[in-house]
Structure 1
Amino acid sequence: MAELSSTEILGIWRALPGNASTPGWRAIDLFHAGTYRIKAARHAPGNEEAVLIGFSSAKIAPTSQFPSGQGFRMERASLGEASGGLQWLAIVCQPSGNLELFAAVVIDICGLLHSTSHCPEDVVYQRLLGRVRGWQEFMRNGREGLNSETELGLVGELCLLQHLLDEGMLLFSAVDGWKGPLDGLHDFQLGAGAIEVKSTMATEGFPVRIASLDQLDESQRSPLFLAALRFVTSELGAALPELITDMRIRLEPDTAATRLFEQALIHVGYLDMHAKLYSRRFSLSELRIHLIDSEFPRLTPFNVPTAIRRAQYELDLSLLSITNHPLADALEQLGVA
């Protein structure tokens, strides 16, 4: 597929009749990839610009379950005799939406569909839903990308997720346990316990920031582990978008895991349209995994004066003489190995 431009998409929409007396879709094929097809379209009598995606075998949810938000909507489309035996989805510009921005949405979605032409349809469908949600979140909040601290935190959580899969965890179990993007108390809830992930790029000591009195309180989930990752910037490392692409490829065999992964990215605020903003390349130089127990120094609601209701603090792990557990041992204690 030759790369489309916003100007070309806008020109195609202008060429399609939108005020026809007969209700329905007027569409032009853009391209087909794998077993699905993509069309630029207008709908009469509303004169609404849209992109249509036709799937041959994906399990399409009811319209009520589609993402909804500002700028555009997603719905099923009936093409009648022109359906070609496919199930059609329509992504439609809202009357109040910015048409030039919607054209950028369509370009991005077409790029996604073309790049995933080798994937099973169910995977493509889940990726499409995730991309639509991401754009709607962008339009709702006007996000301009992750700050450097959140970027590093996401890199650390993705790195640990990769290590969990390397240890043999099932795809769905590992992604389902990833709660960091969902504002969970701990970044991974696995078995009866949890793993809290902390990332640093400090070159001296091993400082980690603890966000609350509850974060290292093992009475809430046990066993509780702290996974501390030290990164350095290196040309041999991987940028955040590359880590995400690698994880998407790894999760392809499990559409449910793919769906959860895409939802997590949206919750944390990562959008593919911002990929060029994340140019730092990270290499993992050290991974420590510590069991949080009575020997581990930390502040909890039970060991501070009752008048202290909340606190944030910093630990320097380099000053502690405590056991560094292999991840395999931690997973065995968590009951997921």
Structure 2
Amino acid sequence: MNTTPDAASMLEEWHELAAVAPGDRLYRTRRLSRPALLDLRMGLREADGAPCLVASAGSAGDSIASFETAGLRLSRAADPGGPLLVLSLEEPSRRDLFAEICSDCVRSVLRREDEGETELTTVLAARLAAWRAFLRDQAGAFSRNEIVGLIGELLVLDRLLDENAGAVATWKAPDDGLHDFECRGHGLEVKTGLGASRQLHISTLDQLDDAGLASLHILHVRLVESANGETLGQIATRIEQRLNGERARGAFRNALLRRGLAPGADTNLGPRVACVGIDGYEVGDGFPRLQRSDVALGIADATYQVEVRALVGFAVNTEALLHTFGGAENE
């Protein structure tokens, strides 16, 4: 396989490996011509013919967590040539998806090698971790509300990039962070409404808890549908193009995947929207919210709605807030 592999070529490679006579090792493999700095192989498990992507990870693989989810398994195996990191397909019905994932992981490694990265096992591990999060949380197609919510987060990230080129690192929602953005003890919670949104949806009792934070603010992103607006895919592509270097772009792609947006998703996914404003509110004493100390013992969690009109007294200058938050990374 001499070109950057796509899913179809990977499926063909596994088909060709199946015709090779079995050997005396755990895996029947064929090394990819690239990357040059990581021994990465297409493989079949001799015991049952399961397709695999096999990496000679060396000691760098010791820190990579094994997992099994959605019919895929990441494990380690001993081999005469050294320890192996093995991504294997355990559910044959997901063969096409497995090929897509393997192809995507290889492309991620190749992009980083092309920019001079040498720690390619770390690159591979980060992409695999992103796929693990995506597969673990996948419950079907993105709902309209989920798309709108992600658009709001990306629009805030886009604005924060005006203040700080490293703002992707402050985006914590893809890592199941309590707050959507956090930097040096300052938190931002993004609430997005499409059309005439008069209420903010609070999804947990802890979401507006500012204990231990230097500050906590809500950003209410107001969207309208517009023929001249942008889709989720277009916004994500635009932000990726803003980033400098493959390391930053790769981190952003991994964050998108952990957040639930698969690579190659339809660029027309969801509504076409325009942002008509972002309103900022400071969460603190007197803010209309529920906290764990407010509810009876035995209530594990709660969701509730906050009226936007009740927040007038907590409004802040949004531009100043974004400028301050964006600059916090450089403090």
TM-score by length of 2: 0.70
The whole-number CA distance in structure 1 between the counterparts of 2:288 and 2:113 is 50
- Counterpart contact for 1:41–1:50, Cα < 8 Å: yes
Match runs of 1:20-99 below 5 Å: 20-23=22-25, 26-28=28-30, 32=34, 39-42=41-44, 44=46, 47-52=49-54, 61-63=60-62, 65-70=64-69, 71-74=71-74, 90-94=86-90, 98-99=94-95
Structure 1, unaligned stretches of length 5 or more? none
The answer to which of 104-113 and 157-166 deviates more is: 104-113
1:267-321 deviation per Cα after TM superposition (whole angstroms, max 9, x unaligned): 4333226446724333322112222345x75134499787996551232249836
- Counterpart contact for 1:181–1:267, Cα < 8 Å: yes
**3-state SS, counterpart of residue 69 of structure 1:** strand
Match runs of 1:141-290 below 5 Å: 143-168=139-164, 171=166, 174-202=167-195, 204=196, 206-212=198-204, 214-218=206-210, 221-248=213-240, 253=245, 255=247, 259=251, 264-272=255-263, 274-275=265-266, 278-290=269-281
Given the superposition, is the C-alpha separation of residues 280 and 119 from structure 1 closer, same or farther in structure 2, using an over 3 Å criterion?
farther
The whole-number CA distance in structure 2 between the counterparts of 1:305 and 1:47 is 55
- Counterpart contact for 2:181–2:188, Cα < 8 Å: yes
The whole-number CA distance in structure 2 between the counterparts of 1:282 and 1:118 is 36
How many residues get paired? 323
The whole-number CA distance in structure 1 between the counterparts of 2:279 and 2:59 is 43
1:200 Cα deviation after fit: 1.0
**3-state SS, counterpart of residue 68 of structure 2:** coil
The whole-number CA distance in structure 1 between the counterparts of 2:120 and 2:241 is 12
Select the residue among 277, 284, 298 that pairs with 2:288: 298
The whole-number CA distance in structure 2 between the counterparts of 1:39 and 1:4 is 14
**3-state SS, counterpart of residue 283 of structure 1:** strand
1:64-116 deviation per Cα after TM superposition (whole angstroms, max 9, x unaligned): 514521433446789989x9xxx986533348674444334334445555666
1:159 Cα deviation after fit: 2.0
Identity, % of aligned pairs? 22
- Show the counterpart of 1:325: 317
1:145-179 deviation per Cα after TM superposition (whole angstroms, max 9, x unaligned): 322212221221222223223113x62xx444433
1:251 Cα deviation after fit: 5.3
The whole-number CA distance in structure 1 between the counterparts of 2:231 and 2:44 is 39
The whole-number CA distance in structure 2 between the counterparts of 1:131 and 1:149 is 26
- Counterpart contact for 2:283–2:314, Cα < 8 Å: no
The whole-number CA distance in structure 2 between the counterparts of 1:60 and 1:231 is 49
The answer to which of 155-164 and 69-78 deviates more is: 69-78
